Amino acid sequence: MAKIDETKEFIGFLKVIFVTLIAIDTSLIAYIFKNHTILDKLSAYTIFGIVIVSTIMICLLFVYILKNIKKLKDL
């Protein structure tokens, strides 16, 4: 039974990271839209790159969480 609890705790931890990345991603997108007129190109491209990287991380983390949830059936 301890393995199931450990997996559940790990999934809960991953969900916290997932929500944090979504909040960061959303905040950066809002910052770009709010300040697009005053940002220089380097700052805009840097923020846009961070948004792309965090979005990819969100997608990968989502898939990893789903795999761990499916693994719970076998335990």
Residue-wise pLDDT tens digits, 15-40:
999 999 999 999 999 999 999 889 89
How far apart CA 27 and CA 20 sit, in angstroms, is 11
Domain ranges of the chain: 2-74
pTM of the predicted structure, to 2 decimals: 0.83
pLDDT surpasses 90 at 13 = yes
pLDDT in tens, 41-66: 999 999 999 999 999 999 999 999 99
How far apart CA 64 and CA 14 sit, in angstroms, is 9
Q: Count the alpha carbons within 13 Å of 62 in the hemisphere toward its beta carbon.
A: 9
